[in-house]
A and B are shown apart, each in its own frame.
Chain A
Amino acid sequence: MTWHSFFDFSTMGHRHIVFVYAGVWIAQGAYLAWIAWNWAHIKGIRR
């Protein structure tokens, strides 16, 4: 596979590969960002 064929949305299979790989990074990154936001927020309360 190449970058070109990775972003080939012509078939359902190829679309779903992109959805999986992008979706996993987005979901995991969003959870990490949520923890980090709360970490900073609670630190602010303590000060």
Chain B
Amino acid sequence: MEQRTPTLRSVAWLWFGITIAVLVVGFRQAIFLVPAEATMGDVQRIFYYHLPHAVLGLIFPYVNLIASLAFLFWRRRDPLNALTADALAVAAAEVTVLYVGICLATGMLWGKPAWGIWWAWDARLTSELLLWLLYVSYLLLRRYSPTGQAGTLGAVLSVFAAIDVPIVYMSIQWWRTQHPAPVFGPNGGGVDPRFYPAILWNMAGWLMWGILIMLFRFALERRRQLAEQEAALHAIEASLEIPQ
């Protein structure tokens, strides 16, 4: 453990540096290099930040779900492994709230100049808002539930919250309302190949960033758990030292 920490720290700093470089390239591609879209003009460049957050906001909930299921499996069999799974679950939930929140905000900032409205209660927007609210409620439940119950209550909620993810994904195929039809996949409308560099660099950059912050948040939660255990141990030792 003593030797592993400096190596992990070096890898983390290296990952951080590469991520920033990829994001800078992505920014340059999105703003300065790819041509403006024919119909919407420059405002379409919001897409290059909106899309990665929308896609990744549907992936991090599954990290939360898998970690929550692992927590429920281990909580009686192996409490130490369960604590590790719980730390990953809370990290993934926070990153989900961040990514889905940014997706909603950038979508509104794009919608106003493009559609003339900030918001429409269409299937995609409403299910996405519901996803954000579900993970906010997950974090609030963990924050305010009784000590010792936070992990279990949160894990059960996360199973229900994850059900919304495929609904968000399929919403623009099941219901044709305000949000544009899918551009990728078998039923997608397609994208001009000249836009690919901006899409791919930003997708890679925000994926690397998301992994970085999720693992850093996971490490922080593990550190907090270990600090709590250490404090509890000191309290027990101190109580045993009281002369009878």
What CA separation (Å) do A11 and B42 show in the bound complex?
Answer: 11
What CA separation (Å) do A43 and B230 show in the bound complex?
Answer: 12
Residue from B32, B50, B109, B227 within 8 A of A1 (CB atoms): B32
What CA separation (Å) do A1 and B43 show in the bound complex?
Answer: 11
With contact pairs A1-B42, A13-B43, A17-B43 given, residues A23 and B220 touching in the complex (Cβ less than 8 Å): no
The size class of the interface chain A forms with chain B is 20 to 34
Is the contact region of chain A dominated by helix, strand, or loop, or is it mixed?
A: helix
B interface size (C-beta, 8 A): 33
What CA separation (Å) do A36 and B98 show in the bound complex?
Answer: 16
What CA separation (Å) do A35 and B219 show in the bound complex?
Answer: 10
B220 touches A16 (CB 8 A): no
Interface residues of B (CB under 8 A from A): 27, 31-32, 36, 41-43, 45-46, 49-50, 53, 94, 98, 101-102, 105-106, 109-110, 112-113, 209, 213, 216-217, 219-220, 223-224, 226-227, 230
Kindly list the 5 A-B residue pairs having the minimum CB-CB distance in the complex, ordered from nearest.
A13-B43, A13-B113, A16-B109, A20-B46, A12-B113
